[in-house]
Structure 1
Amino acid sequence: MTGLDLSALVPVIEELILLDTVRFTTPAGTPVFNPDTGQYETPPGDIIYEGPGAVQIAGTVGGVTSLPAPTLPWVDETRSKYKALTPLAAPIAERDTIVTVVAVHPGGDLSLLGRQWRAQDPSTGGTLGVIRMTTLDQIQQTRES
């Protein structure tokens, strides 16, 4: 008995879903405050992948990693559950890889441009995969004034 072969579906799925361009970079150190933008920015690291991809909400509700309390020295941080989709040929993203949307397809969501996420775990793999999935947490950024 032969196993299920999904290789014929790979080009179809890639053409239908991987419409935007995503960039995966290695983290290059601690974020640095940019006074021109008023945001903390991570210095650019090495690009390990730039090509077709998609970033989607993971379909589950995010959470809060700590409870807010006025006596604590930190602010509560939300967890945003997203996933990056890339071709199987893309390299496996290691934990803390920075994922950025650098181009969107015509009619796509322009608010994704420049947004960044951090890989929570190495990219997933499976015996019946047709695309690579990487779990992400959005890097919190301040709003533009």
Structure 2
Amino acid sequence: MQGLDDALAGVVGWIGENLLIDTVRITLPATGDPVLNEDTGQLEYPEGDVLYEGPGGVQGSSAQAEIVAAPNQNLPWVSETTSRYRLLTPLEAPIAPKDAIITVIAVHDPARTGLLGRSWICTDPGRAGTVEVVRITPLDQMQAEVTP
């Protein structure tokens, strides 16, 4: 349908100009063995393959019900949460597979650096539909290491 295709093209353009304004990276998890870093004395895993680096955005859920507590088998209390986020990428970007790692490597506004340094894991491949204007991929924020 020509009318629908024209309308969707306009929406895709608007989303690209107004929502996909940060730079995101989609990386496959590393598969190699860890290597000892002589300087730090720490084991470091090799970098995974980069599938995509380009325009995108990460949005947090606004619904409190989408933050779920996950009990730890070794503790009598809940120590982690499952935090629902979504990755937005252009339709031309590759579909991020389950367990891919997402990072935001640049933000459009230097005052909004809260997403830098965080990483997310794809909980499912990117969603698909018969009418699409942006690719949406469900994410869970990776928790930082807790040191005693």
TM-score (norm 2): 0.78
Equivalent residues, number: 137
- SS of match in other structure, 2:4: coil
**Match of residue 82 from structure 2:** 79
Within 5 A, what are the aligned runs for 1:118-137?
A: 118-137=121-140
Within 5 A, what are the aligned runs for 1:36-115?
A: 43-61=46-64, 62-66=67-71, 72-73=73-74, 76-107=79-110, 109-115=112-118
Give the unaligned 5+ runs of structure 1: none
Q: Residues 119, 31 of structure 1: CA spacing in aligned structure 2 closer, same or farther, 3 A cutoff? A: farther
Q: Residues 73, 85 of structure 1: CA spacing in aligned structure 2 closer, same or farther, 3 A cutoff? A: same
Within 5 A, what are the aligned runs for 1:18-29?
A: 18-29=20-31
Greater C-alpha radius of gyration: 2
Deviations 1:80-109 (A, max 9, x none): 100010000000011000000000002552
**Match of residue 18 from structure 2:** 16
CA distance in 1, matches of 2:12, 2:88: 13
CA distance in 2, matches of 1:119, 1:139: 10
Matched-pair contact (CA < 8 Å) for 1:27–1:42: no
Moved more, 56-65 or 76-85: 56-65
**Match of residue 4 from structure 1:** 4
Q: Residues 76, 93 of structure 1: CA spacing in aligned structure 2 closer, same or farther, 3 A cutoff? A: same
Alignment-mate amino acid for residue 22 of structure 1: V
TM-score (norm 1): 0.80
CA distance in 1, matches of 2:22, 2:88: 10
Q: Residues 49, 80 of structure 1: CA spacing in aligned structure 2 closer, same or farther, 3 A cutoff? A: same
- SS of match in other structure, 2:79: coil
CA distance in 1, matches of 2:9, 2:70: 39
Q: Residues 119, 41 of structure 1: CA spacing in aligned structure 2 closer, same or farther, 3 A cutoff? A: farther
Q: RMSD between aligned alpha carbons?
A: 2.9
Q: Equivalent pairs: percent with the same residue?
A: 47
